[in-house]
Structure 1
């Protein structure tokens, strides 16, 4: 039940009634009419901007429209007052029964409360992580992995048919470097001294791979030229790294639906088909690009290349898809991969990239727009860098990885739940400081602790209520006399619960799962405030001595809070705590 959507529907109905009586002119667009929580709770329970957005097209004063709408809304039993404020905002106050009804709805719907049909079953592909298969996932990949996984869960909760996919970048030269690195470890396993030069990867994680390769092929590749072993070692090393990456993702509870290999695009005609599709639309031509900004003319060698007319679809410049020597550019297989996504029938595509891919956004959006004739939208989310701290100092690199801090380093330090929640405490395009000491701190300043503590506190209340002989099953609590929830703090908590369905839809529309983490912190704060009031005001304690009816009502509110917290944490991929240790 989205209470805000229900009230918006009532506002629209009343506006139509005003039109039918000639108070408002016909033909007004209501698309931008909203009903939302006011910025200041002191102003009311809900606010609508209807008068503000309709005044100009209606040729009327905003306050006149607001007053006419207020007169209509006061006939609704749910509305106790309508106040015209400022230039024409309309603030509403709703009856306590509305908020008490929200508690009942949560308990009756359980984990389904807040689920939406916003997506209407549309097929969405979320591609995330997609790291080069050259080593373990590092902390930057961790943020993208958590963000992408939470976004996929959020969209599923909002009614989309979601597919999670990992694009294996196994078609480029970096995989040859991996193969050479594994070969060095293979020689090392045969007792040879080796030196990691020419950009090869020195991380200890390849030692076991080299040993395993020795066990598989013996000395067949020892002291042989690359032409004898490069292809075999490349395939072996790539699969070994993907096994490592899958295990890393498993540490965070992430399971992909698909793994798509870039290498599968080569020699199969898929790249050629994608480029032909663009060519058939008149978007491929032979030409010479202008020199890049900042390049001096003497540094620039003009070359004729095969170009994609991406400027026809919103890009800044046209992009090469084939080099002057006839080889594909790195952009060509990415076009082919997204062409494959479009061909698979997805209604919407989302790519989660690292911060260093900012220059890639417009060209990829242009490609998908051209390939799908504008039918399939592509949203690209960039995740900014993560800075790690411990004991007030930057957290040092992993010896195992050689050059970076791995996902496993982070999870081993604080656990999967903390890692996932903290990675979502900032918007994806904002830098994130991850302090190992602070994320384990037991205080209000630590969001993950604060939210988990709220859920654990409620679990403790339910256990104590059971010991006291109070029926605390959801069916019992949903039929309790909820009119006993009449304190301002209790109604405020119920109001916050009512925001959950709206929050889900807002976050899903913007592809911003961090909004869920923010909401959970606010909900936990409202619950903790009520709990602490109960320590000084006996009438607010969850368990009232010798008054099971009142106790049930107050426990119902607490239990409804736990249901929503658990649902939100489920979207974030975090297990709700039953007790704190």
Structure 2
């Protein structure tokens, strides 16, 4: 149920009626017609652009079309007023009965309210986190994990078939460095004194891995050359670190559907198959690139390379895919990985990258466009940095990592719900300040607390009404008589609830889960505002002396809780029933 869609359908019926009477020509494209909240709430509950978008194809003045549509719309009992403004804007005010009926409709739909078939079951792959398995995840990884997970939940809620995926970067030289670092901890576990050369990983988090390796192989690798142990230690260390990463993600409530290993691309023909696919399209060639911007000609050594003609698909320059020694560049396995995604039949690919990968966007989008013949879009979301503060000062804490605060540190300090909600209060491409004191304070300035408190307040009135013997089951509340719900604060809260299905579709279309957090903050503010007005106006209180009156008041509150719970579910946050 989507009230905005219902009223849009009413507008389309009015257009059809005008066409039947000859006031509008047949064959008009009504796809651009929308109904949405007006910019100024004083203008009404909804506004439609119908007259503005139909004027040119209808060869008529928009104001004349608006007047004709307004006359048709006023006939419907749901429309209290239809007013034409300016050159042809049409502002609608709905009858109070529409807002009074909404809580009951929400309670009848329950958890289905706001869900839609907007995504039409399209298969979407959302790849996020994909941190190198060389150490514990840090706060930057946490934000990427939270944004990716919330986006996946949002798309699923809006009707997409979503796969959550993690790309394990275990095919590069950094994993050899990990193996050597673990080997040093392994020697240390055997009582050897070791030094960590520059470029290795000295964090304490590898102590346990070294001890585990000792338990597995004993002293078999002690004093042995690298060629004896490197491959096996590499695999052992990668598996151990991925266990740590999975556990850390689990602390955030993040569960992946699929893990894809970069290593599986090498020696299996998968990279070659992807490049051959591009070669068959005439997009692989031998050539010499222009010097990069900022390089002086004397610093540049032109050399022939094997290149991907990415400029044919929107990139700024063509990209090397093979080094002079015949080995693949780092771009080649990424092409192969996305070729695998395309081959798996996804309709849309979404990658969540750190902000430092901004220069990688065009080449990757070009590769997917070429591999899929333009049929599979790739969206890349860049995650900006998180700045940590405590006591008003920049906060830099390290435990086992050595140089940074880990995801685990973050969750242990504030909990997963606070971490997740706060990380979603800003658009992902904007820098985020994370103040350890402010995110846990109990005040209206803290959006996490404000939304959770709204849900807890509703749960408290439900408990109070139950103690008073009032039936507050959703079935009973759905049938309550809300005709007495006439105060502006009550109607305003119902109006905000009506926005939920539309907001979900907008957030899914723009792929912006932060819109959910923003909406929840606004909804919580309306609930708290109504609650506080009850202090001075007893008739607005949720619990009344008359059980029937209590049911009518609580139906609105319970419908609000349904939407808050659904929104928090998308964000991966638990709706609490009482504040502690």
**Scaled by the length of structure 1, what TM-score is found?**
0.98
- How far off its partner does 1:58 sit? 3.5
**Paired residue for 2:579?**
580
Partners of 1:467 and 1:342 in 2: CA distance: 57
Aligned position for 1:155: 155
Matched ranges for 1:474-553 at <5 A? 474-545=474-545, 547-553=546-552
Residue 18 of structure 1 aligns to a residue in which SS? helix
- Structure 1 equivalent of residue 203 of structure 2: 203
CA distance in structure 2 between the aligned counterparts of 1:472 and 1:352, rounded to whole angstroms: 43
C-alpha deviations, 1:110-133, integer Å up to 9, x for none? 111111011111111111000000
Q: Which residue of 1 aligns with 2:33?
A: 33
Aligned-pair CA distance for 1:342: 0.8
* 1:344 corresponds to: 344
Residue 261 in 1 paired to residue 278 in 2?
no
Aligned to 1:178: 178
Give SS of 2:380's match.
strand
SS in 2 for 1:373: coil
Paired residues of 1:310 and 1:363 also in contact (CA < 8 A): yes
Equivalent residue, structure 2, for 1:299: 299
**Equivalence for 1:94:** 94
Shift of 1:509: 0.8
Equivalent in the alignment of 1:285: 285
| Alignment match, 1:442 | 442
Q: Give CA-to-partner distance per residue, 1:324-347, whole Å, 9 cap, x none.
A: 221111111111111111111111
Q: Does 1:556 align with 2:555?
A: yes
- Alpha-carbon distance in structure 2 between the residues aligned to 1:256 and 1:569: 19
- CA distance, structure 2, for counterparts of residue 200 and residue 122 of structure 1: 44
Aligned equivalents of 1:448 and 1:252: distance in 2? 16
**1:454–1:527 contact (8 Å) kept in structure 2:** yes
> Are the counterparts in 2 of residues 203 and 399 from structure 1 also a CA contact under 8 Å?
no
> What per-residue deviation string (whole Å, max 9, x for no partner) do you get for residues 166-187 of structure 1?
0000001111111111111112
The structural deviation recorded for 1:468 is: 0.7
For residues 437 and 27 of structure 2, the distance between their equivalents in structure 1, rounded to whole angstroms, comes to 59
Where does 1:8-157 land on structure 2 (aligned, <5 Å)?
A: 8-157=8-157
1:571 equivalent in structure 2: 570
Partner of 2:359: 359
Q: Which residue is 1:276 aligned to?
A: 276
CA drift at 1:61: 2.9
Equivalent residues of 1:108, 1:478 under 8 A apart? yes
* Mean Cα deviation higher: 458-467 or 91-100: 91-100
Q: Deviations over 1:350-395 (max 9, x none)?
A: 1111111111111111111111111111111111100011111111
SS across alignment from 1:482 = coil
Q: Where do residues 449-464 of structure 1 align in structure 2 (5 Å cutoff)?
A: 449-464=449-464
What SS does the corresponding residue of 2:124 show, helix, strand or coil? Answer: strand
Cα distance in 2 for partners of 1:214, 1:439 equals 42
Say whether residues 1:425 and 2:425 are aligned partners: yes
Give how far 1:316 is off.
1.2
1:206-235 alpha-carbon deviations (Å, 9 max, x no partner)? 111111111212222222221111111111
In the alignment, the residues of structure 2 paired with residue 143 and residue 413 of structure 1 have an alpha-carbon distance, to the nearest angstrom, of 15
Give the 5 Å matches for 1:330-409: 330-409=330-409
2: CA distance between counterparts of 1:474 and 1:306?
65
Separation in structure 1 between the aligned mates of residue 23 and residue 430 of structure 2, nearest angstrom: 47
Q: Distance in 2 between matches of 1:363 and 1:136?
A: 29
After superposition, what is the alpha-carbon deviation per residue over 1:146-195, rounded to whole angstroms, capped at 9, x for unaligned? 00111111111111111111000000111111111111111211222222
Cα distance in 2, alignment partners of residues 198 and 415 from structure 1: 35
Aligned to 2:471: 471
The 2-side partners of 1:415 and 1:88 are apart by: 51
d(CA) in 2 for partners of 1:30 and 1:292?
Answer: 49
CA distance in 2, matches of 1:459, 1:406: 35
- Report the CA distance between 1:298 and its aligned residue: 1.3
Q: Would you say how many aligned residue pairs link Structure 1 and Structure 2? A: 580
Q: Distance in 1 between matches of 2:50 and 2:130?
A: 44
- C-alpha separation between the residues in 1 aligned to 2:175 and 2:271? 20
Q: CA RMSD in A?
A: 1.2
- For the 8 Å contact 1:133–1:168, the answer to whether it is kept is yes
> What does residue 189 of structure 1 align with?
189
How far residue 26 of structure 1 moved from its aligned partner, in angstroms, is 4.1
Partner Cα separation in structure 2 for residue 452 and residue 284 of structure 1:
55
Secondary structure at 2:93's aligned position in 1? Answer: strand
For residues 466 and 122 of structure 2, the distance between their equivalents in structure 1, rounded to whole angstroms, comes to 43
Q: Distance in 1 between matches of 2:285 and 2:514?
A: 42
Write out per-residue CA displacement over residues 540-565 of structure 1, whole angstroms, 9 at most, x where no aligned residue: 011111x1111100000000000100
**Offset at residue 406 of structure 1 (A):** 0.5
Counterpart-to-counterpart distance in 2, 1:334 and 1:434: 32
Residues 20-46 of structure 1: per-residue CA shift (max 9 Å, x gap): 433334444323221111122111100
Provide the rounded CA distance (Å) in 2 between the counterparts of 1:300 and 1:74. Answer: 73
TM-score of the aligned structures, taking structure 2 as reference length: 0.98
Larger deviation, residues 26-35 vs 75-84: 26-35
Preserved contact between residue 78 and residue 98 of structure 1 (Cα < 8 Å): yes
The CA distance in 1 between the partners of 2:102 and 2:547, in whole Å, is: 21
Distance in 2 (alpha carbons) for counterparts of 1:98 and 1:223: 80
Is the partner of 1:536 in helix, strand or coil? coil
Contact in 2 for aligned 1:44/1:93 (Cα 8 Å): yes
**CA–CA distance in 1 between the matches of 2:304 and 2:111?**
59
What SS does structure 1 have at the residue aligned with 2:483? helix
Measured in 2, the distance between the counterparts of 1:548 and 1:206 equals: 63
Does structure 2 retain, via aligned residues, the 8 Å contact 1:389–1:433?
Answer: yes
Write the deviation string for residues 231-287 of structure 1: whole angstroms up to 9, x where unpaired: 111111100000000000000011101110000000000001111111111111111
The answer to whether the 8 Å contact 1:128/1:353 transfers is yes
In structure 1, stretches of 5+ residues that fail to align are none
